[in-house]
Amino acid sequence: MTEFASLFHGFAVVLTPFNLMLMMVGIVLGVLIGVLPGLGGANGVAILLPLTFSMPPTSAIILLSCIYWGALFGGAITSVLFNIPGEPWSVATTFDGYPMAQQGRAGEALTAAFTSSFIGAFFAVLMITFLAPLVARFALQFGPPEFFSVYLLTFCSFVGMGKGSPMKILASMMLGFALAAVGMDTVTGQLRLTFGLPDLMRGFDFLIAVIGLFGIGEILLSMEEGLKFSGSSARINTRIVLETWKKLPKYWMTSIRSTLIGCWMGITPGGATPASFMSYGMAKKMSPRGANFGKGEIEGVVAPETAAHAAGTSALLPMLALGIPGSPTAAVLLGGLLIWGLQPGPLLFVEKPDFVWGLIASMYLGNVAGLIIVLTSVPLFASILRVPFAIIAPIIIAICAIGAYTVHSAMLDIWFMLGFGVVGYVFKKLDYPLAPLVLAVVLGDRAEDSFRQSMLLSQGDLTILWSNWLVGSITTLALLLLAWPFIGRGLQMVKAVALRAESRASTTHDQRG
């Protein structure tokens, strides 16, 4: 039970007035970011990251992770009240949340959404508390081949579990790797793909990519839809909250299932968005009131919100324990670690226990604080959405530009940001996924280093990736996932053939009978 001792130590780290204030500021900013179109968890954190350069790392991560929790909560507000998902993972929340709001049950829907978000996050944090140290301890024995195989697993699972075309996932991911390769090669010191431009020597910073792809790209998309905000008003008072809370225990099965889906999808880089859809779909199939889904069923709000929040939170587990983020926002936080001079990876638990346990403790407190803040201040945040787009859009673009500039104090980066924005817009419309691109830009150099170190160890022999049972099974699993779209199609074909054969057999049988 050393975890308990460490956790209490973590609480002691967090419970200073300065850190508690940062926590509150982070949550409020996060909800604001989640509510505003064009600003989301990933690029919101990316824009604010440069502001934390001078803070102590523990305070900085508390601020940024609380922005993340806030953004997770904030997405639900716009989904329920305006039928506009503020974040991609709250799309599934609109299915039942908005009909409930139209029926005048907005308060109930929001209470259900916030409470289930909280429950999902809470169990994910519990899991992180007990599982992350184990994983980290286990990973201490990892050498370069093991790390490379875990990277391989991360990237292959995008292809295996992604919804879209596997070739597009691959193309988008490899584009990320190519962008990561630009600049000085860390091993030989040679310049790669800079085309003689001195500005490219530093390479592309993924923060610029995140701000452009998610921020500017999202603004262009929302503009195209010609946003008209027409929302219902929300009144949440203690009576509605208590009444909703009385109803929620009925859906304990849905909550448990959604939490499990969320945690699984968060640790593997499936992410919060597919988790929320999967959980909604499962709930619809298994619920006795499944036919009512989409017409304002409270269970249809509970399922996606629980899963999204559980996934969003547990995405931090591989980031903390292995240094491999499970979502774009976790990737941005990882970038923060590097900037604050911390080396992410399993050693972090040993070398910086204050930081790690402070962060985990702040997850508990941040989510409690978040729940209280959103329950009490929904009308305030909803009123922000009534500000016309012609005012919001230029302000957000200006904020993105400032964020892009402050990363390296380079004016050229603002041009790159705009370029990434156009790429983000086009990619989004053509169903090229953006998450693998961002993760590849972040992890590209480190994946390459572990690959090259493995190749050095083995003198260029690829079988080192199967040299012991551990690395061998991870590599095999990764390759299986990579081939999954093709295996899946093969299985379907086999099934179809079998079905045809069966029906033929049964018809001949019938004829005989």
Partner 1 sequence: MNTDTADEQDESGIATWIVEVFVALCLFVLGAVVAYNSWKLGAGWRDDGPGAGYFPFYIGLLICTASAIVGVRGMRSGSRVDKVFVTHSQLRLVLTVLLPSLAFVAAVQVVGIYVGSLLFIAGFMVWVGKYHWAKSVAIAFAVMAIAFLMFEVWFKVPLFKGALDPLRFLGY
Kindly state the smallest distance separating residue 451's Cβ from partner 1, in Å. 6
User: Residue 178 Cβ, how far from partner 1 at the closest point, in Å?
Assistant: 5
How many whole angstroms separate alpha carbon 232 and alpha carbon 252? 29
Q: Please, what is the minimum distance in Å from the beta carbon of residue 404 to partner 1?
A: 10
User: Binding residues for partner 1, how many (CB under 8 A)?
Assistant: 58
Alpha carbon 22 to its chain's center: 22
Single residue of 27, 80, 331, 397 touching partner 1 by CB under 8 A: 397
430 sits near partner 1 (criterion: CB under 8 A): yes
Q: What are the structure tokens assigned to 135, written together?
A: 């994983």
The token pair that represents 325 in the structure block: 């983020």
The span from the CA of 451 to the CA of 69, in Å, is: 34
**Any idea which residue has 């104090």 for tokens?**
409
Residue 384 in contact with partner 1, rule: CB under 8 A:
no
**The one segment of 80-88, 181-189, 329-337, 473-481 that binds partner 1 by CB under 8 A:** 181-189
Shortest Cβ 134–partner 1 spacing (Å): 32
Please, which of residues 206-235 interact with partner 1 by CB under 8 A? 216, 219-220, 223-224, 226
* Secondary structure of residue 145 in the 3-state scheme: helix
- Two tokens at 314? 């547990």
Q: Which of 379, 388, 488, 490 binds partner 1 (CB under 8 A)?
A: 388
* Residue of 171, 282, 470, 483 interacting with partner 1 (CB under 8 A): 171
Please report, as a single letter, which amino acid is at residue 306: T
Q: Which is closer to partner 1, CB of 282 or CB of 457?
A: 457
Report which of 216, 288, 110 is spatially closest to residue 434, judged by C-alpha positions.
216
Task: Using DSSP bridges, classify how beta strands 183-184 and 191-192 pair: parallel, antiparallel or unpaired.
Answer: antiparallel
Instruction: Look at the alpha carbons of 45, 61, 79, 128 in this order and tell me if their dihedral is positive or negative.
Output: positive
Whose CA is closest to 317, among 42, 121, 163, 46? 121
Four-CA torsion 257, 263, 265, 268, nearest 10 degrees: -150
- Candidate list 4, 8, 18, 53; residue touching partner 1; CB under 8 A: 53
The one segment of 170-178, 199-207, 313-321, 473-481 that binds partner 1 by CB under 8 A? 170-178
Pick the piece of the chain touching partner 1 (CB under 8 A) from 87-95, 201-209, 424-432, 504-512: 424-432
**CB 487 → partner 1: shortest distance, Å?**
18
Binding residue for partner 1, selected from 46, 385, 399, 437, defined by CB under 8 A: 399
Near partner 1 by CB under 8 A: residue from 15, 21, 167, 487: 167
Instruction: Report in angstroms how near the CB of residue 365 gets to partner 1 at its nearest.
Output: 23
Shortest distance (Å) from residue 383 CB to partner 1: 16
- Helix, strand and coil content of the chain, in percent to the nearest 5, comes to 80, 0, 20
Both tokens of 149, joined, read 């195989």
Please identify, using beta-carbon distances, which residue of 165 and 467 lies nearer to partner 1: 165
Contact between 483 and partner 1 by CB under 8 A: the answer reads no
Query: Radius of gyration over alpha carbons of the chain, in Å?
Result: 23
Pick 144 or 346: Cβ nearer partner 1: 144
CB closer to partner 1 out of 250 and 429: 429
The one-character DSSP state at 346 is: T
Residue corresponding to tokens 């584009």: 175
Choose between 202 and 247: whose C-beta lies nearer to partner 1.
202
Q: Is 175 in the site for partner 1 (CB under 8 A)?
A: yes
Q: CB of 327: closest distance to partner 1 in angstroms? A: 23
**Beta carbon of residue 439, minimum distance to partner 1 (angstroms, whole number):** 14
Q: Is 28 an interacting residue with respect to partner 1 (CB under 8 A)? A: no
Residues pairing with 191 in the sheet: 184
Which range binds partner 1 by CB under 8 A, 73-81, 180-188, 309-317, 461-469?
A: 180-188
Indicate which single residue of 3, 165, 384, 466 sits in contact with partner 1 (rule: CB under 8 A): 165
Told to check if 425 binds partner 1 by CB under 8 A, we report yes
In sequence order, which residues have a C-beta less than 8 Å from that of residue 488 and are 6 or more positions away? none
Q: Pick between residue 150 and residue 374 the one whose CB is nearest to partner 1.
A: 150
391 binds partner 1 (CB under 8 A): yes
Which residues neighbour 328 within 8 Å (Cβ) at sequence distance 6 or greater? 41, 42, 210, 214, 434, 435, 438, 439
Between 150 and 278, whose beta carbon lies closer to partner 1? 150
Spatial contact of 87 and 275, defined as CB atoms under 8 Å apart: no
Task: Please report how close the Cβ of residue 291 comes to partner 1 at its closest, in angstroms.
Answer: 32
Q: How far is the CB of 445 from partner 1 (least distance, A)?
A: 10
Whole-angstrom CA distances from 120 to 115, 201, 253 are: 9, 43, 13
Are 385 and 229 contacting, i.e. CB atoms less than 8 angstroms apart?
yes
Query: Terminus-to-terminus CA distance in the chain, angstroms?
Result: 68
CB atoms within 10 A of CB 174: 15
- Cα gap 237→56, rounded to integer Å: 38
Rounded Cα distance, 423 and 213, in Å: 7
Residues that bind partner 1 in the complex, under the rule CB under 8 A? 50-51, 53-54, 165, 167-168, 170-171, 174-175, 177-178, 181, 185, 187-188, 190, 192-193, 216, 219-220, 223-224, 226, 388, 390-391, 393-395, 397-399, 401-402, 405-406, 409, 411, 414-415, 418, 421-422, 425-427, 429-430, 432, 448, 451-452, 455-456, 460
